[in-house]
Amino acid sequence: MKLIATLFWTFILVQVLGYVASSMTNTEYSIQTISIIGVIATVLIAILAAAIPKPEVETH
């Protein structure tokens, strides 16, 4: 479920970032290109989250 939420929010945020960046640089906004970048960013975030070691919690 966390991966789906990450995919959703990454997609939305990358779309907003792509729209603003294309507007600032006066280039054409392409939802297809920005969507591919969003999927790649989501995969990289998932890999990074899996690679970071989680601290062990001691129970007494």
On the question of pLDDT at 60 being above 80, the answer is no
Q: Which helix (H) or strand (E) holds 30?
A: none
8-59 pLDDT per residue, tens: 888 899 999 999 999 999 999 999 999 898 889 888 888 998 899 888 888 7
Contact 29, 19 (CB under 8 A): yes
DSSP state letters, 15-52: HHHHHHHHHHHT----HHHHHHHHHHHHHHHHHHHHHS
Q: Cα torsion for 46, 32, 22, 10, to the nearest 10°?
A: -20
Contact 18, 37 (CB under 8 A): yes
On the question of pLDDT at 2 being above 80, the answer is no
What local confidence, expressed as pLDDT, does residue 18 receive? 92
